[in-house]
Amino acid sequence: MTSQRSPDAHSGDDVLIALRGVSKAYRRGKEVVPVLSDIGFDIRRGEFLALMGPSGSGKSTLLNLIAGIDNPDSGSIVVGGNDITRLPEASLADWRAANVGFIFQFYNLMPVLTALENVELPLTLTHLGRRERRDHALLALELVGLSDRIKHFPSELSGGQQQRVAIARAIVTDPTLLVADEPTGDLDRQSAEEVLTIMQRLNREMGTTIIMVTHDRRAAEHAKAIMHLEKGELAERVELRRE
Amino acid sequence: MIQWFKLVARNAWRQRLRTWLTLAGLVVAILAFGVLQTIISAWYAGIDNAVPSRLVTRNAIAFTMPLPHSYDKSIRAIDGVRGVTYMNIFGGIYKENKNFFVQIAIDAGSHFDMYPEFVLSDETRRAFMSDRRGAIVGRKLANRFGFKPGDVIQLRGTIYPGDWEFVIEGIFDARDPKADTSQLFFHWDYLNETLRARSKAQADQVGFFVVDVADIDRVNEVSQTIDALFRNSTTNTLTETERAFQIGFMKQTESILVSIRIVSVVVIGIILAVMANTMAMTARERLGEYATLKALGFGPGYIARLILGESVMIALIGGTIAIALTPPVASRLVALTETPLPPLIVDTKIIALQLFASLAVGLLSTLVPMHRAANIRIVDGLRAVG
């Protein structure tokens, strides 16, 4: 494993995400609580970035802003040439459907749908036909090693298997960006390792850009770089390996 | 669409106990609504069955006051009148007060020509005509008390005092299923002759005349002519269409009907509140799922349709079961209460009302939860997971 400091911003065509002057605060009654202050950095295409920091440092908020499920108070977030902070809600939903895959800590699968149906779900927003949707979903489940569990409901799967279904759902639309919020936070060590290995493979073999929020140092070490946040500010960025 | 329907259908049965209880409540409410509406409809059956060419001539002061029988000839002589019959409400008690049913003294010679909606065989008609003490009973009344031809029954008079004996000569049916066959008809002549002997002051009087007008366009003219004819007599008349007469009669029971109507609407209001509560709980429990769907790119409209679809599906299942149960329950209710109501017929209007009420409950109960769930901020919804 290599480790080196790197500059805050990159330039060139390989930049997928560019944040400039991003700030976010929450209101608690009359009190305004700043969460992120003037954040600015770039994320390259094909990067696997782990966001770390203590609770309340703003890492999940930052992830939500990049994924387009929350809006900054100020600043711009350009993803693949689109400033997503300027997109109206309906366009932002379309943008998320086409560009972002989500992996959540508690998997967030639809409990009434089977593994296959859960993975097929995001494809219903595309123009794919029924058979094509099924083929894509089967392929995604095969990639995460769950071909033999396609008819199982989430309640019939272990935590690790559920998270692998969630990964299949996240990658089935072939998104530009995969965002994962504590993807191993609810898993045992072995399941966590399996999930992280799959994410690493997706990044390495398919070139998927991944941003992962984690508390777990061992999980973060599966990434190519770790970015530390403290009190809503970028503390440091550590490059772990370059391929 | 298929995926949406799958989600809606499976979500509807996710909390089985809750869904079954909601369905049970819906079935009871829609059923009660349907039965109450059927009772109201049966109450108004007389109005619906009113024939436009028939006029009713009654005492101008009150319909409970009689008219002289001698008016019969004068009315018959009016130009445009095709037929006249007359009758008296008898108001007798059969064994006990609770055995209430309508008894009417009729002019047997003219009555059935005027009321073709009542159907009786030639044999029954002959037997009835040939027996002064004879009576005929409607099918529903015969079934209620087990009356059969040859039975002798006794009624205790209330309007006309004393005990009155009748021989059942036959049973009549109705051409229209809505027509009332819970009545007993007997000879006005028998009533009159007995009154001449027992209570002379009540003799030679009729409750009201029913006049058949040959040309429907002359109904108003004939009506005015009848009343003008008796304007200077000791007893003035009021002639109105059969429908207007029925409405006037119904007005006396209007407060009961209004109460029944209010209860039927209140029942729907209660189930609407119960259903709204259920849907609010359901939506609150699934906020995380809705937020996840929104994160995946599904719009607020999709979330709203999920909740709406589930609610409407449950409401329609409940409504359909209730609609299917309404006719047997209405019949059973009549049998249990031995009510003197005409047949409780669940017609298409009532079915449509029940269906509309079910749909309205399904739609309205989701308005608030649908709005909340569809507009939830994704980050807020995701916090609900875990």
Same domain, B176 and B89: yes
User: For residue B131, what are its two tokens?
Assistant: 């027996």
Question: For residue B12, which residues of chain A lie inside 8 Å, CB to CB?
Answer: none
Q: How far apart are CA B67 and CA B33, in angstroms?
A: 42
DSSP state of B92: -
Longest dimension (CA), chain A: 54
Q: Supply φ then ψ for residue B112, to 5 degrees.
A: -75, -20
ipTM of the complex: 0.91
- Asked if A97 lies within 8 A of B6 by C-beta distance, the reply is no
The reply to whether B298 touches chain A by the CB within 8 Å rule is: yes
Same domain, B40 and B167: no
Q: How far apart are CA A111 and CA B7, in angstroms?
A: 10
Residue B52 lies in a domain: no
Amino acid letter, B322: A
User: For residue B101, what are its two tokens?
Assistant: 């049913």
Amino acid letter, B52: P
Same domain, B179 and B327: no
Same domain, B220 and B308: no
Same domain, B79 and B215: yes
Residue B248 lies in a domain: no
Q: How far apart are CA B54 and CA B383, in angstroms?
A: 73
Q: Which residue segment(s) compose the domain that B37 sits in?
A: 2-45+254-383
Q: For residue B110, what are the CA distances in angstroms to B66, B86, B187?
A: 19, 8, 11
State the first-to-last Cα distance of chain B, in angstroms, to the nearest integer: 29
Same domain, B147 and B187: yes
Residue B358 has what pLDDT?
A: 94
Same domain, B224 and B141: yes
Same domain, B29 and B167: no
- Asked if B298 lies within 8 A of A125 by C-beta distance, the reply is yes
**Run means of pLDDT, 10 residues per run, chain B, 386 residues:** 86 92 94 90 75 90 90 94 94 88 92 87 92 93 91 92 93 83 93 91 93 91 94 92 81 82 92 91 91 94 94 95 93 70 78 94 92 90 74
- Asked if A98 lies within 8 A of B299 by C-beta distance, the reply is no
Same domain, B219 and B312: no
User: Does the global pTM surpass 0.90?
Assistant: no
Residue B55 lies in a domain: no
Domain count, chain B: 2
- Asked if A111 lies within 8 A of B14 by C-beta distance, the reply is yes
In the numeric block, the tokens 């119904």 are attached to B250
The reply to whether B250 touches chain A by the CB within 8 Å rule is: no
Same domain, B153 and B230: yes
Same domain, B97 and B171: yes
Neighbours of B146 (CB within 10 A): 7
CATH number corresponding to A4-9+46-71+89-239: 3.40.50.300
3-class DSSP state for residue B56?
strand
DSSP state of B57: E
Comparing alpha-carbon positions, the chain B residue that sits nearest to A109 is B289
Residue B4 has what pLDDT?
A: 86
Residue B240 lies in a domain: no
Per domain, the residue ranges of chain A are 4-9+46-71+89-239
Question: For residue A70, which residues of chain B lie inside 8 Å, CB to CB?
Answer: 377-379
CB B136 within 8 A of CB B126: no
Comparing alpha-carbon positions, the chain B residue that sits nearest to A186 is B386
Closest CA of chain B from A212, distance in Å: 16
Q: How many beta-carbon contacts under 8 Å exist across A and B? A: 66
Identify the CA nearest to B166 among candidates B198, B193, B131. B131
Q: How far apart are CA A224 and CA A243, in angstroms?
A: 9
Same domain, B278 and B157: no
Nearest Cβ partner for A93 among B3, B297, B382: B297
Closest CA of chain A from B275, distance in Å: 22
From the number of C-beta atoms within 10 Å of its C-beta (0-12, 13-18, 19+), residue A94 rates as middle
Neighbours of A11 (CB within 10 A): 9
- Asked if B297 lies within 8 A of A94 by C-beta distance, the reply is yes
Question: For residue A36, which residues of chain B lie inside 8 Å, CB to CB?
Answer: none
Nearest Cβ partner for B295 among A102, A111, A113: A102
Residues contacting B280, CB < 8 A, separation 6+: B368, B369
Nearest Cβ partner for B297 among A64, A96, A105: A96
Closest CA of chain B from A172, distance in Å: 12
Parts of chain A with a pLDDT under 50: 1-11
Residue B243 lies in a domain: no
Residue B242 has what pLDDT?
A: 87
DSSP states along B338-370 = T--PPP----HHHHHHHHHHHHHHHHHTTHHHH
Comparing alpha-carbon positions, the chain B residue that sits nearest to A91 is B297
The reply to whether B175 touches chain A by the CB within 8 Å rule is: no
State the first-to-last Cα distance of chain A, in angstroms, to the nearest integer: 12
The reply to whether B301 touches chain A by the CB within 8 Å rule is: no
User: For residue A123, what are its two tokens?
Assistant: 């494809």
Residues contacting A138, CB < 8 A, separation 6+: A116, A147, A150
Residues 262-291 of B with CB under 8 A from A: 288-289
